[in-house]
Amino acid sequence: MIKEISKGVVAPKGFTANGIHAGIRDNKSKIDLALIMSNVQGNAAAVYTTNKVKGAPIYVTISNLNDGKAQAMICNSGNANTCNADGVEIATRTCEILAANSDVKANDVIVASTGVIGMPMSIKPFETGIPEILKGMDSTEEKAELACKGIMTTDTVMKMVAVEFEIDGKVCKMGAMTKGAGMIAPNMATMLCFITTDCAVSSKVLDKALHEAVADSFNMLSVDGDTSTNDTCSIIANGLAGNKLIDDVNSKDYELFLEALKYVTINLAKRMAKDGEGASHLIVCHVKNAKTTNDAKIVAKSVIQSSLLKAAIFGADANWGRVLCAIGYAKADVDVFKVDMAFKSSKGIVETCKNGAGIPFSEEKAKEVLLEEEITIEIDLNDGKGEASAFGCDLTYDYVKINGDYRS
């Protein structure tokens, strides 16, 4: 049984966090440096953007995680450290400065950056900021929130969650925080996410579990169709819960751990979609009875990425033809003459299509359903057992306003 608890990334045993203004952003009221540390070295894994242009910290993190070990996660906001000639040098030096001021080894650091691409970066804020942030490291919820604020850019709310679950008779905990409101498309991680757990899991198994969880959560998420250069989702498992090491992907313990990890990542994916830049609605597209799970995923993602559909949801317009259109151009094996669909929210459900053709429905009722903040598009392909959900948001005037002056 999975139970939500408080304290985010510091909920698991042995983790501390903090966030400060280090001077990366000009606005001194903005926290721009976050640090998460484990009391002991843990097993670790990460997934990264598939964009050919990658932030310098990704190359450093990939190198540091070659041995599957990590003890700290450090991230700055306000500058992506991408397309900079000295970017790798700065990311490497950041790890070295943290190591020089703590008992963490430089190659046990997961390093990340987020913000404007192509902006020159200085190492000076890290030279002064890292000793300062270390002074305030703690396992309180307040510190977890400061760390979460330190990775935010255009996010309007903090996105953090923690759960507890039982494995091998031991209570294990998992915490996570994420950022991302724009430049998000379902293409491997699609934002920054930092996950901590005190469950004992081998590096190899942790890597598999993270890839499986991301496939059903962050890779099913789209705000605007743009895949960022800095996308990273990482996890450290320090084993302090005391359970027997999970090293078999065919075990019951693995399934329990994966269930908890998917719970956390799907929870955060929904929060990210709901907080999409300028968004006023969370859209969940649920597809069932597809020929395969992959077909269901392709259809669900196609629908939530449709700009026409996103605009219709913003206007509370039950233009269901836009859903069918998105299904039709999806690269999936679909019999369009078997498709049923409906719009659903807390105000009820409105069926709009049967066997690929429209059916009478109340426009007034549909409007009432679509005015709610969370909308589900239910699609039944009536052609198999495949099932999947994708997460997105509506397209509003504010999205253009935000991205029209992003650098200012």
Greatest CA separation for the chain: 69
Is 229 one of the catalytic residues? no
Give the integer Cα–Cα distance in Å for 81 and 57. Answer: 7
Radius of gyration of the chain (CA): 22
Give the integer Cα–Cα distance in Å for 90 and 401. Answer: 32
62 close to 113: Cβ distance less than 8 angstroms: no
Q: How many CB atoms lie within 10 A of CB 244?
A: 12
CA dihedral 192, 196, 201, 205 (to 10 degrees): -10
Distances (CA, A) of 206 to 59, 74, 164: 20, 20, 17
1 close to 118: Cβ distance less than 8 angstroms: no
Burial bucket for residue 38 (CB in 10 Å: 0-12, 13-18, 19+): buried
Q: Which amino acid is at 100?
A: A
Q: Which of 49, 92, 190, 396 is catalytic?
A: 190
Residues involved in catalysis: 190
